Amino acid sequence: MKLIKYVLIAICLLNISYTLSTERELYVNNFNNILGSYHLETELLEFVKNHEINTLILYDLHKINKRFPLGDETKNGVLASFIVKAKVEYGIQKISASGESGDFFTNVIHPYNISRKNSKEKIDIYNLEYEYWDEESSSNKGYYCKSYLKDSYQKCNRENSFRFYIESLKIMRKLANEIDHPIQIEAYIGKFTEKEVQNISNHVDRLLIHAYVRTPQESFHYVKNRLNLLAGIDSKIKVSILYSSEMKFLGKWFSTQ
C-alpha cells in the first residue's frame, strides 16, 4: 500500500518496567489521500485487521481540514464515517490525531470532537509531534521558528522550542478535561535531557520514543540510555517504542517475515 508509511509501536513498557503489552499501533501517513476513497480506506482497514492493529495515529489532518472543515459537523462526516467503520467493523479501539501545536488541537481537532455526538465517531488520543530537540528546525531560519516561534518568543532556539512544546501539551490537557469523552495525551520525543523529560512527564499519559534501527535485535541498545533517563525520574506514564518500516530502517526485515 504505497500511500501508507508504516511505523509500528510494537512494545509498550508500563511505568518504565519491562512488561510487554499487546498494543499494536500504526502511523498512517498521507491520510489525506486515503480519506474519502472507498478502495484506499478499505485497503488500509483490511491491513489493520489482518495485522491485529488496534490503534491508528492519523497524519495529514491539517490538509483534511482544508477539504472538510473538521469543526463543522455538516462537513466533517467523512472523517466520522471512517472512524466509525474502523472501530465497529475492523477492531480499532482508539483513533489518535497527530498535530504540531496546541493551537491545532484548539482550532481543528477538539472542535471536531465536540461536534460529533456518537462516541464511536470521536478521536481518543491527542498526539503531539513537534521535534523541539532538532536544533536546525528551531534556529532562526528553521521551520519551527518560521511557523511557530518568531511571533511569540524573542529568540528561536531549543530552549524556547521546548517551552512551546510544553505549552502545547498544557493546552491539549486542558482541552481533554473539557470533554466527557476520555482523551489521552501523548507525545513523540527524540533526544531529551532528564530535566526535560521530567517536565514532559507531568503533562502526558504516554511518550513515544523511536528505535529506528535495521533489525529488532538493535532496538534495546538503541533506546537504552533514554529508557534509563525515564527510569531515573520514577515516572508513572506509559512509554512505547516506535519501529519504522521504511526500507532504510526495518523495511527489509519486515519484508522477510
Each residue of 88-114: pLDDT tens digit?
999 999 999 999 999 999 999 999 999
Cα distances from 212 to residues 14, 176, 194, 227, 250, in angstroms, run 21, 30, 21, 15, 7
24 against 72, higher pLDDT: 72
The reply to whether the predicted model has a pTM over 0.85 is yes
Torsion of CA 148, 154, 156, 160, to 10 degrees: -80
- Please state, in angstroms and rounded to a whole number, the distance separating the CA atoms of residues 112 and 116: 7
205 against 5, higher pLDDT: 205
The letter for the amino acid at 177 is N
Question: In this predicted structure, what is the pLDDT of residue 17?
Answer: 34
162 touches 130 (CB < 8 A) = no
> What are the φ/ψ torsions at residue 173 (nearest 5 degrees)?
-65, -40
Summarize pLDDT for 144-184 with one digit per residue, the tens: 999 999 988 989 999 999 999 999 999 999 999 999 999 99
- The model's confidence at residue 204, banded by pLDDT at 50, 70 and 90, is very high
Q: Which residues of 64-81 are buried (b: 16+ CB within 10 A; e: fewer)?
A: bbeebbbbebeebeebbe
